[in-house]
Structure 1
């Protein structure tokens, strides 16, 4: 059969990324406390395209992705190496997004329930191999300004802490979740009894945080973690009394610690 994709393209325009997007794929995610959790990921996979080639063979992405069962750097690098070889490309890219559930106990009643976390893994290979992971964690923030100027109460809301990191050593998704939660006004829980609601409400009131506060303190925690070579932090608050959201972001290299 005629190989149309492999025809020579007269326009001679190289393309940096050509591939497939939003492919649903079953995966296993290793748990910090042993075992694994099944999930379904959305996959984006691409290669660069030489200026003389008209197109790529899409089916080859799926064939290579059959190796992807569990998320590890070694498996990702092997897949990218295979794509570079089979697609005759100089660079390959693989990105996945998936839900991950962390089981938590409510603070007082100790009722267990799962908290859904959005996770992210991105890998790229040319001459070097790059591997990044990330989380988007729901948290609770309470406004310091509202607390200061109000006779009683303070506006508070759900917020999200996004952390993307490139690591020197292995790091668990749970570790990043813990960093996000401890720098918010309070963690969130799926199941709360009345005694838990009282605890969370009062904890947040005693620990007011702007999005700027959360972003800075998460960054300082990441700076101190020797496993992390690079990071990006993005905090967004779903404002409860404004018709807009508030956000703050910081990336490694944006500031220098004194001392």
Structure 2
């Protein structure tokens, strides 16, 4: 091994491009600094949204399914509009607000999220604020025969839109995984039928009187699982696998069937005002995926 003497660290830094600090002439006190973002002039257009995105922070999630309380990592997008005569927004106020709630324990309840966006709009000096938060939600799933329990997960998302003097809009979304078995292959095949992993994405606008004692995540999950050919399980023994595969064979589903069946359940949920249901099948005997969607608004007569 070659032995050599390293130069001092400050010399090494200079070797790789570091330079001595230059003369500082601009003010260091905040009150004396230029504030470009608060410049007032006609900047042509009002902006629909300006803020921060892809910000991760630890949060707590409450569910009616085990685990009842869980910690997870949520990804936030926080925005507000700005008028045409304001150049920009103060980005640090978004992260200050998020850090304030993190320190006091951020639980993703609608009551706390409402307080968050209302306070955020006041901190920004704007009439509105929007919040989008996505997170993995975990729930226990039991095997049908052995009753062995493991954790499944679904992708959840909440969108909250606050505007001073108006009703807060609350939109929720859940994407979960199920099994679907092809009715066509079952019909034409002598011996079997092919199945696939299906992703059900449900987006719902909640009614103004939504009661948070109802777990929207559990309701949407039930709508997807109860209409699928079979449920995805984290743990299966051989007797479980027999039941699951037979259940899939007894309940064949096209993507078209899935979105219509799930839509029926969401239509019957009294706290859902409008919804979109999407199904994407990862086809096992085709190179492509199969896809279908349906959108419905209960307020349209």
TM bucket by the smaller chain? over 0.9
What is the number of residues matched between the two proteins? 257
Residue 157 of structure 1 deviates from its aligned partner by 0.7
Q: Which runs of 5+ in 2 are unaligned?
A: 1-32
Contact (CA 8 Å) 2:273, 2:297: kept in 1 or not? no
Q: Whole-Å Cα distance in 2 between the matches of residues 113 and 241 of structure 1?
A: 29
User: Deviations for 1:51-99, whole angstroms, at most 9, x for unmatched residues?
Assistant: 1111111110112223260111121221211222222223211001100
Which region of structure 1 is more displaced relative to structure 2, 88-97 or 145-154?
A: 88-97
Q: Whole-Å Cα distance in 2 between the matches of residues 93 and 256 of structure 1?
A: 26
Tell me the equivalent position of 1:32. 64
Contact (CA 8 Å) 1:141, 1:157: kept in 2 or not? yes
Q: Whole-Å Cα distance in 2 between the matches of residues 206 and 237 of structure 1?
A: 18
Matching residue within 81, 98, 113 for 1:48: 81
Contact (CA 8 Å) 1:186, 1:203: kept in 2 or not? yes
Q: Whole-Å Cα distance in 1 between the matches of residues 96 and 156 of structure 2?
A: 24
- Using structure 1 for the length normalisation, give the TM-score: 0.94
Residue 167 of structure 1 deviates from its aligned partner by 2.4
- Using structure 2 for the length normalisation, give the TM-score: 0.81
Contact (CA 8 Å) 2:267, 2:298: kept in 1 or not? no
Tell me the equivalent position of 2:129. 92
Q: Whole-Å Cα distance in 2 between the matches of residues 167 and 115 of structure 1?
A: 25
Q: Whole-Å Cα distance in 2 between the matches of residues 256 and 12 of structure 1?
A: 36
Tell me the equivalent position of 1:18. 50
What stretches of structure 1 move > 6 A for 4+ residues in a row? 254-257
Q: Whole-Å Cα distance in 1 between the matches of residues 259 and 298 of structure 2?
A: 12
Alignment of 1:242-253 (within 5 A): 242-253=286-297
Matching residue within 229, 248, 262 for 1:204: 248
Tell me the equivalent position of 2:141. 104
Residues 255 and 157 of structure 1, relative CA distance in 2, 3 Å threshold: farther
Tell me the equivalent position of 2:119. 82
Alignment of 1:33-182 (within 5 A): 33=65, 35-65=68-98, 66-67=100-101, 69-126=106-163, 127-168=166-207, 169=210, 170=212, 171-172=214-215, 173-182=217-226
Q: What RMSD in Å do the two structures reach over aligned CA positions?
A: 1.9
Matching residue within 230, 233, 237 for 2:274: 230
Rg (Cα) greater in structure: 2
Q: Which runs of 5+ in 1 are unaligned?
A: none
Which region of structure 1 is more displaced relative to structure 2, 84-93 or 124-133?
A: 84-93
